[in-house]
Amino acid sequence: MTSNNQNHIGETMAKMDGAKISRSVDKDPSIQSYFQMWAALGACAVTLLAVILKPFFPDGPDYTKGFAPMWVTAFASIIGLIALLLSMGWTRVRLVPRLLVLISAWSASILLIWSSAGIVFDTLRTAAVLGIPGLPPVVDWSGFASRAISLTGATLLAMVTVSFQRVSRGACVACGQVPLIKGKSRSNVWLGYAAFILSFPYPLLKIYWSLGGNLWGGQNFGHHSAFGEILVFGASALLSLALVQRWGRIFPRWVPFFAGKKVPRWIFIIGGWIAACMTAPMGLLAIFGASMQALGLADGPVRFDGNGLMVSMVYGGWLLLGIALGGATWVYQQQTRTRCAQCGR
Q: Residue 8: pLDDT band by 50, 70, 90 thresholds?
A: very low
Q: What amino acid occupies position 317? A: G
Contact (Cβ atoms closer than 8 angstroms) between residue 195 and residue 245: no
Pairwise CA distance, residues 110 & 115, whole Å: 9
Contact (Cβ atoms closer than 8 angstroms) between residue 184 and residue 345: no
* pLDDT of amino acid 32: 46
The phi and psi torsions of 83 (rounded to 5 degrees) equal -60, -40
Pairwise CA distance, residues 183 & 185, whole Å: 7
Among residues 208, 193, 206, which one has the least CA distance to residue 321?
A: 193
pTM exceeds 0.85, yes or no: no
Its sign, for the CA torsion 214, 217, 219, 225, is: negative
Q: Residue 178: pLDDT band by 50, 70, 90 thresholds?
A: low
Its sign, for the CA torsion 124, 126, 127, 131, is: positive
CA distances from 90 to 41, 237, 271 (A): 16, 44, 36
* pLDDT of amino acid 10: 44
Q: Residue 261: pLDDT band by 50, 70, 90 thresholds?
A: confident
* pLDDT of amino acid 292: 65
pLDDT at 7 over 50: no
CA torsion, ordered 194, 197, 200, 205, to nearest 10 deg? -90
Neighbours of 339 (CB within 10 A): 9
Contact (Cβ atoms closer than 8 angstroms) between residue 261 and residue 250: yes
Pairwise CA distance, residues 69 & 60, whole Å: 13
Q: What percent of the chain has pLDDT over 90?
A: 11
Q: What amino acid occupies position 134? A: G
pLDDT at 326 over 60: yes
Is pLDDT larger for residue 48 or for residue 124? 48
